């Protein structure tokens, strides 16, 4: 058992850390306040290779392992979770799904541009009446000769308006239940595809979350991913890896808040000494550091299992469940350490707390992770 980083891991981590500090930190509060997407920053992240980190270099990816990806996600999320959710969806859901299950033509046509960050992608599973209950898809895709006709609405789609390519899950044979669900690649410009309203959110306010409407959108048969009926399994397999990305995001949010609280506790004086010299604060810091370390081990283990080609579905569910809970706990405590300053925007920790909350909801709520874990235990 090794608990060491390689030199490559450290180089990736440091590059992500430098980028986050120099490019994401300036303006992060304003982007949050104005709910403004970090266009320029995401473009630069593409140029630096952060948008297709694990993709084979022959498809313009970085050819890196999942540990490197997790390290980069952690660093970006310490500063800007709105940027990191775009990165996570593009890497883990869109690029991974296409590389693993897409045809050679799909990889040539779409993956190369997605992995290089030239364009970004979105993953469209959730619907107004199908969030946790993802098998209840109402979006339909009916085959008509050499194409499908897509109709329906998707909700809460990350990169909803900024994406160019959308992986859409739809029902192709309702009589077969989840085994009649298929996955498709849909382009933004196609007729009948309308980008709906942008959500005004509690956190990750810089990310671009929309509903999407499909009205008789013609999708060529060659844009189906895998066989007809493979779509639900595609979504579940893809989300297993997505959950590692979100777990890393939660870990980063927690670490970012902890680092701010630690630094503040050494500067701020009360009762004649830095508050870090008071046991009330020391115990908070000890709890935060311990929880973060435990979350980190779960996140890295799930990434490692994926890199070894071993089953990581339970590990990723556990990592996301725990890391998101830690993100919530630690960010609340980081505000408490900051006192009144923690409650105002300038000190960042209130934003990190608002951002933390979504990690307990998207890519499967904490309750869904418990279903995944308990079913596996009891199988």
If the CB atoms of residues 15 and 35 are measured against ligand CAA, the closer one turns out to be 35
CA distance 359 to 217: 32
What sign for the dihedral angle of Cα 49, 55, 58, 62?
Answer: positive
Q: Which of 120, 134, 275, 319 touches ligand CAA (CB under 6 A)?
A: 134
Could you say whether residue 357 binds ligand CAA (CB under 6 A)? no
* Chain mean position to CA 213: 22
Q: Counting contacts by CB under 6 A, is residue 138 touching ligand CAA?
A: no
Stretch that binds ligand CAA, among 46-54, 104-112, 129-137, 211-219 (CB under 6 A): 129-137
Identify the helix (H) or strand (E) that includes residue 165. strand 165-171
Instruction: Tell me which stretch binds ligand CAA (CB under 6 A): 103-111, 287-295, 322-330, 366-374.
Output: 366-374
* CA angle (231 as vertex; 363, 237 as ends), nearest 5: 45
Strand 193-198 and strand 147-158: pairing?
unpaired
d(CA 121, CA 98): 11
Least separation in angstroms between residue 133's CB and ligand CAA is 6
Confirm or reject binding of residue 237 to ligand CAA (CB under 6 A): yes
- Count other C-beta atoms under 10 Å from residue 194's C-beta: 12
* Residue 127 DSSP code: B
- 141 phi and psi, to 5 degrees? -135, 110
Q: Is residue 118 exposed (0-12), middle (13-18) or buried (19+ Cβ within 10 Å)?
A: middle
Place of tokens 């989300």: 239
Residue 305 near ligand CAA by CB under 6 A: no
Smallest gap from residue 240 Cβ to ligand CAA (A): 5
- Total number of residues binding ligand CAA (CB under 6 A)? 23
Residue with tokens 């009916």: 142
The residues in 192-231 that bind ligand CAA, with binding defined as CB under 6 A, are none
Give the residue with the Cβ less far from ligand CAA, 238 or 276.
238
Nearer to ligand CAA, 134 or 321 (CB): 134
3-class state of residue 177 by DSSP: helix
Catalytic residues: 363
The answer to whether residue 95 forms part of the interface with ligand CAA (CB under 6 A) is no
95: closest CA among 46, 52, 125? 52
Residue from 60, 90, 139, 240 touching ligand CAA (CB under 6 A): that is 240
Residues 5-44 that bind ligand CAA (CB under 6 A): none
**What are the backbone angles phi and psi of residue 150, rounded to the nearest 5°?**
-100, 130
Q: Which is nearer to ligand CAA, 117 or 342 (CB)?
A: 117
Binding status of residue 232 toward ligand CAA by CB under 6 A: yes
90 binding ligand CAA? (CB under 6 A):
no
Is the Cβ–Cβ distance between 72 and 50 less than 8 Å? Answer: yes
Specify the residue, 103 or 135, whose C-beta has the smaller distance to ligand CAA.
135
Which of residues 95, 125, 150, 167 is near ligand CAA by CB under 6 A?
125
158 lies in the site for ligand CAA, by CB under 6 A? yes
| Phi, psi of 11, deg, nearest 5 | -65, -40
165 binds ligand CAA (CB under 6 A): no
162 binds ligand CAA (CB under 6 A): no
Rg for the chain, CA atoms, rounded: 21
368: contact with ligand CAA by CB under 6 A = yes
Q: CA–CA separation, 51 vs 238, rounded Å?
A: 16
Which lies closer to ligand CAA via its Cβ, residue 133 or residue 293? Answer: 133
- The pattern of x and - marking residues 311 through 330 that bind ligand CAA according to CB under 6 A reads --x-----------------
Task: Quote the CA–CA distance of 171 and 235 in Å, as a whole number.
Answer: 13
Give the interface with ligand CAA as residue ranges (CB under 6 A): 85, 89, 123, 125-126, 132, 134-135, 158, 178, 232-233, 236-237, 239-240, 313, 362-364, 368, 371-372
């Amino acid at each position: 058992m090794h608990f060491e980083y390689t030199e490559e891991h450290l180089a990736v981590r440091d590059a992500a850390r430098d980028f986050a500090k120099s490019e994401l930190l300036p303006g992060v509060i304003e982007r949050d306040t104005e709910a403004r997407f970090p266009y320029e920053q995401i473009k630069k992240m593409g140029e630096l290779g952060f948008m297709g980190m694990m993709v084979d270099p022959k498809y313009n990816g970085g050819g890196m392992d999942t540990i490197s990806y997790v390290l980069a996600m952690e660093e970006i999320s310490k500063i800007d979770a709105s940027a990191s959710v775009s990165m996570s969806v593009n890497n883990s859901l869109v690029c991974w799904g296409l590389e693993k299950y897409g045809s050679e033509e799909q990889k040539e046509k779409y993956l190369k541009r997605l992995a290089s960050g030239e364009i970004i992608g979105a993953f469209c599973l959730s619907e107004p009446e199908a969030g946790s209950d993802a098998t209840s898809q109402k979006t339909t895709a009916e085959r008509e000769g050499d194409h499908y006709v897509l109709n329906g609405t998707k909700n809460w789609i990350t990169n909803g308006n900024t994406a160019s390519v959308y992986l859409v899950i739809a029902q192709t044979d309702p009589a077969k239940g989840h085994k009649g669900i298929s996955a498709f690649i849909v382009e933004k410009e196609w007729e009948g595809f309308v980008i709906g309203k942008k959500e005004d959110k509690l956190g990750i306010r810089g990310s671009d979350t929309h509903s999407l409407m499909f009205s008789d959108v013609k999708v060529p048969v060659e844009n189906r991913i895998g066989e007809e009926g493979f779509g639900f399994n595609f979504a579940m397999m893809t989300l297993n890896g997505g959950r590692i990305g979100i777990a890393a995001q939660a870990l980063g949010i927690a670490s970012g808040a902890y680092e701010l609280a630690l630094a503040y506790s050494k500067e701020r004086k009360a009762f004649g000494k830095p508050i870090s010299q008071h046991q009330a604060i020391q115990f908070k810091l000890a709890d935060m550091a311990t929880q973060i370390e435990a979350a980190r081990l779960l996140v890295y283990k799930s990434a490692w299992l994926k890199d070894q080609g071993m089953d990581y579905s339970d590990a990723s569910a556990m990592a996301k469940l725990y890391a998101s809970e830690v993100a919530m706990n630690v960010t609340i405590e980081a505000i408490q350490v900051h006192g009144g300053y923690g409650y105002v925007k300038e000190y960042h920790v209130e934003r990190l707390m608002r951002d933390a909350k979504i990690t307990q909801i998207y890519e499967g709520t904490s309750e869904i992770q418990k279903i995944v874990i308990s079913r596996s235990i009891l199988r």
